Structure 1
């Protein structure tokens, strides 16, 4: 369990956060100049403010870091609260393709499983259509797994739904060469201050941690270790 959960952390003292300076150093020389984010509220970085943390979602945070690395960075975020993967394709694919990203974040299908009896075969087929489209951009692809703190009590099988969806996301991401930021097992899930009032979305303290994990993962894409140094980390293709 995260033993720092109750001691009033701030962004400066949170061991899972990165300073802006460290994040910029880790991504120095990064080639991305057209960053796009599609999907739902998790892609948008929706969440309540946390005392001691910048009131900003993970995706906007990352765009700010990338813009310090590449001042001419273009950023498109079409994410919309409540949309499914199918609705993301219907509403957001066109603007994303027109934007022609070289770094693209795709959703993990959280809203696809909020139904009485989710059809996981259909969900996988829809996610695959999204990955086919995303891969056609030749952009570096990123996605998340859902955190275990994310709970919808009305569904008694919710944990099984999450693990099934996360396994699907990991499998598709591996097939398409996407970078997966695995929030399921992250110790931040043990913090009692992690979730917003809706008990679904990460508060901005969690958004800061997700942004840090994204920076670390992208540093890995650049062939660096999680501290941003060296050339010994495996490259994602």
Structure 2
């Protein structure tokens, strides 16, 4: 495995994931796992444990969190866990906020990366994907480009592994996205898990789903789908912004403390075992 990341000096193997909905797993529903989602990070943890028994995993990510929340709420707990592997995606929600100071955001982001890299753990960073959702979001494209440039620079500066999500052509297929068009679907999360595992040189058998070419929609079908998307997702999103509330306000981290990932059965097996003991 690349870079000797697999274990600390004591032989400890501990993976801690930080971030927002991207890392929490939104878009990949589960009726068993905490917060009702699974996601790419859970899949990475399970493949790590399968390749090398003894891996522990914590996921502190919560949907809708801004960078300042991740720094205030997730950084110190993560450092206290003494991880040997860290994944971080943060700042995407800030990019979509009106009035965000990008210089201040990227300064804070570098501080966070520096703190995490200072632990000696292997750090994995992600660029942001240029989601073709709507012309409404096109003004934010420049911010995303600036963010991605900074992430690439910091990955080099701090010796982090870069998963350049922006470059993955597979995500041009709408089926890689959830109905809200902002979060990955189950297929999207599985593919990203495979990309992270490949960057870490961890063996796996996850492959890109092979679909038939999408059927061409009529103009009426396209308009109907657009209206449904606006009503179901866009208007509620802007309504929450106006009220100053988020979907993550009532949620806690899915795996707030390191759990030992079963080599067989994965995290679902862990939850089943926990429920059986109650």
| Shorter-chain TM-score range | 0.7 to 0.9
Deviation at 1:79, TM superposition (A): 0.3
State how 1:1-237 maps to structure 2 within 5 Å. 31-32=6-7, 33-48=13-28, 56-149=38-131, 151=133, 153-219=135-201
Deviation at 1:118, TM superposition (A): 2.3
Deviation at 1:130, TM superposition (A): 0.3
Q: Secondary structure at the match of 2:201?
A: helix
Which segments of 5 or more consecutive residues in structure 2 lack a partner in the other structure? 8-12, 31-36, 203-278
Alignment RMSD, CA only?
A: 2.4
In structure 2, how many angstroms separate the alpha carbons of the residues matched to 1:176 and 1:125? Answer: 14
Q: Which residue of 1 aligns with 2:261?
A: none
Bigger Rg, structure 1 or 2:
2
C-alpha distance after superposition, 1:163-217 (max 9, x if no partner) = 1111111111111111111111211122121111111001010101101110111
CA contact (8 A) 1:41 1:82 kept: yes
TM (norm. structure 1) is 0.74
**Would you identify which runs of 4 or more consecutive aligned residues in structure 1 move more than 4 Å?**
none
In structure 2, how many angstroms separate the alpha carbons of the residues matched to 1:163 and 1:30? Answer: 29
CA contact (8 A) 2:96 2:140 kept: no
CA contact (8 A) 1:148 1:189 kept: no
Deviation at 1:151, TM superposition (A): 3.9
Q: Secondary structure at the match of 1:123?
A: helix
CA contact (8 A) 2:28 2:38 kept: no
In structure 2, how many angstroms separate the alpha carbons of the residues matched to 1:179 and 1:152? Answer: 31
In structure 1, how many angstroms separate the alpha carbons of the residues matched to 2:48 and 2:132? Answer: 28
Deviation at 1:31, TM superposition (A): 2.0
TM (norm. structure 2) is 0.64
Q: Which residue of 2 aligns with 1:23?
A: none
Say how many residue pairs are matched. 191
1:86 and 1:30, CA in 2 relative to 1: closer, same or farther beyond 3 A? closer
